[in-house]
Structure 1
Amino acid sequence: MLVSGERIVGVYVAFYSARRVGESVEKFCNLSAWCVLDGYRAHGLRLLKALLDQGGYTFTDLSPSGNVVPLNRRLKFQQIDTAAALVINLPRPSWGSGVSIVTDPRLIERHLDERNLGIYKDHALAPAAHHLAVIKRDRCCYVIFRKDTRKRLRVFASILHVGDRGLFAETAHHIYSYLLTRFGVVATFVEDRFADVHPKLSISLRSPRPKMFLSDRVSPSEVDYLYSELTCVPW
């Protein structure tokens, strides 16, 4: 917080988590909302400096505003490859496919492995996170997505987590159909890190929204979107 006398004049909201990366546990600090009253903007950087001065953290900024991106670059933040496509969701019958999709919390928990079960329990009540499990024979893919608004239309979704990338690729058309019929989502933003093969009715995004991180221990591929404003703050 930035305080003047007894008055709070600025805040920088951050989400903290401890995550297993490879064989070690890494501490993450996800930078979120940064707000400073007009008369105190000159002191706003002190909030960011206080956060970045914390030792031993990997810092992420997953929804930086336009003027924050160049500032982050000057502070040595790296940009994550967010190459993505916008997929048009089409209805598709699932009978005879051997694929089932469940959203009941009890059924989701029953099918998840230890790692994904931990992620699910941590995010089960997160306001912006929606959950489903795709089941095909003895395999399960846990998916977290959020609903997004574009052009004042809340009919879009963004994929935030994929538990089994191979199974996601095999069953993606069923997932997109389910998002349409069950959640009223007409199109889905899918980054190549989750599925680098997209259906014909999809549009590659020329300028996907940037996501950034700062770390000397973690690689871009090891940064995910969990424990952040993307799962916790609907917009």
Structure 2
Amino acid sequence: MLARGTTELAPIGRADVERVAQFLHEHLNRRVSPEAWAAAMVPPWTFEAPNHGFLLHDGGEVVGVHLAFYSSRVIDGQQRLFCNLGAWCVLDSHRSQGLRLLRALLAQREFDFTDLSPSGNVVALNERLGFTRLDTATAVVPNLAWPSRSSRARVVTRADEIEGLLDPHERQLFLDHREAAAAHHLVLVAGGEHCYVVARRDRRKNLPLFASLLYVGNPELLAAHPMPVRRCLLLHLGALATLAELRIVGIRPRLSVMVPTPRAKMFRSRELRPESVDYLYSELACVAW
């Protein structure tokens, strides 16, 4: 534990989860209940995380928080350790000390870092600290309830059926994220092939009317049979439109419009290439806001 004046910096342990969750509910996003914050801070996948992020406290009261989501991934045949930077909130009275939280996280040099929902001010700060922007060019396409003209394509949403359709790698992804609060799973099946899709319900201009695609296992199949998936996202998530990053879907969807200012996503690594970074094992899968 380090101290400067009366404000102390400490890792977030299991014993801190409830009070950190209450702090984030009160000071960052009241749409997310304290119970939901607490559940999100302990991800469903298996990994011995060193902490849940870092906190600042003053006189025993939490005055700042920066969450972190840790995982171990196999990238190009090598095991890599990831730290996804999550919610960052500091009271105005202690704003000058907020950077201590980020520096404590980045001091864990054994990890590759991702920041998949940085705010405008944080983007510039991250760039100064060595983060690289991902190409987040995004198309928005309406979700329609029209039935598919193709009798060869269907969408599976039942968990027990999904697991049976996936190969070992994607089955593990599914099992790791099955209980993640913001991750919604479906499998498009057509012509003897399948496409595993993970989506989240998203907001734009404070309207929860969008679906964002976090993972697409077979972009070519999705491009060939998009309508059943869009119809599923409309009926199951209430999403009137889908936000499809081209780096995730590969091919710009028909009838789509490009988003003029897509949201930034960033990573920091000495070795990883942008194409090795995805959006699973992160705050985007765990926190439904």
Change (3 A) 1:199 1:81: closer
TM-score in terms of structure 2 length: 0.77
The residue that corresponds to 1:209 in the other structure is 263
The residue that corresponds to 2:211 in the other structure is 157
DSSP 3-state at the match of 2:71: strand
> Could you tell me whether the CA contact under 8 Å between 2:185 and 2:199 is conserved in 1?
yes
2:272 alignment partner AA: V
Change (3 A) 1:2 1:199: closer
DSSP 3-state at the match of 1:93: coil
Q: Quick one: which of 36, 53, 65 aligns to 2:90?
A: 36
> What is the CA distance between 1:5 and its match in structure 2?
4.2
Q: Does 2:117 align with 1:92?
A: no
1:194 alignment partner AA: I
Question: Whole-Å Cα distance in 1 between the matches of residues 237 and 287 of structure 2?
Answer: 18
> What is the CA distance between 1:36 and its match in structure 2?
1.7
Which one is further off, 4-13 or 71-80? 4-13
Which one is further off, 191-200 or 165-174? 191-200
| RMSD of equivalent CA atoms | 1.5
Structure 2 unmatched ranges of 5 or more: 1-54
2:163 alignment partner AA: E
- Structure ranking higher on relative contact order (CA contacts 8 Å, 6+ apart): 1
DSSP 3-state at the match of 1:218: coil
**Matched residues, number:** 235
Q: Does 2:41 align with 1:2?
A: no
Question: Whole-Å Cα distance in 2 between the matches of residues 13 and 43 of structure 1?
Answer: 16
> Could you tell me whether the CA contact under 8 Å between 2:211 and 2:237 is conserved in 1?
no
Structure 1 unmatched ranges of 5 or more: none
- Summarize the alignment of residues 1-235 of structure 1 with structure 2, pairs less than 5 Å apart: 1-94=55-148, 96-235=150-289
TM-score in terms of structure 1 length: 0.94
Identity among equivalent positions (%) equals 49
Deviations 1:96-129 (A, max 9, x none): 4311101000000010111111111111111111
> Could you tell me whether the CA contact under 8 Å between 1:87 and 1:198 is conserved in 2?
no
Question: Whole-Å Cα distance in 2 between the matches of residues 62 and 130 of structure 1?
Answer: 18
Change (3 A) 1:120 1:200: closer
> What is the CA distance between 1:220 and its match in structure 2?
0.7
> Could you tell me whether the CA contact under 8 Å between 2:71 and 2:82 is conserved in 1?
yes
1:37 alignment partner AA: L
